């Protein structure tokens, strides 16, 4: 296996390597969306918001999702145990951190 990986590393150009954790704003980390999909992410290190399929579609469209579904602070958003991204609850509102460039634009189900 090592020889295979070595051969690939010598033959291919690496465009992007690793997963960015995010950016620090003051004392708060705003996580990168890709971090939610990282296989080694410790999912117990952050609060989780489990959404129904309908709520997950709202999240992926960057529409409002009931704030009660989220704990205060940063939340890993999941549907059926699959990570979708992050959201941050601040009091009685919730910031959807799903990237605009990836949001679902069509309202069809």
Say what the pLDDT of residue 66 is: 94
Average pLDDT of 61-79?
95
Is the pLDDT score of 107 beyond 70?
A: no
Summarize pLDDT for 1-48 with one digit per residue, the tens.
Answer: 889 888 988 898 877 778 888 999 898 889 999 999 988 888 888 999
Say what the pLDDT of residue 108 is: 55
**Residue 38 CB-density burial (10 A; 0-12 exposed, 13-18 middle, 19+ buried):** middle
Question: Which pTM value belongs to this model?
Answer: 0.79
């Amino acid at each position: 296996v090592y020889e295979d990986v070595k051969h690939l590393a010598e033959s291919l150009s690496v465009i992007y390597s690793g997963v960015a954790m995010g950016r620090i704003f003051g004392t708060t980390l705003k996580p990168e969306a890709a971090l939610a999909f990282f296989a080694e992410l410790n999912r117990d290190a952050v609060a989780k918001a489990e959404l129904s399929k309908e709520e997950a579609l709202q999240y992926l469209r960057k529409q409002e999702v009931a704030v009660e579904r989220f704990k205060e602070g940063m939340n890993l958003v999941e549907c059926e145990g699959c990570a979708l991204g992050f959201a941050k609850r601040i009091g009685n509102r919730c910031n959807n951190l799903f990237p605009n460039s990836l949001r679902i634009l069509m309202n069809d189900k």
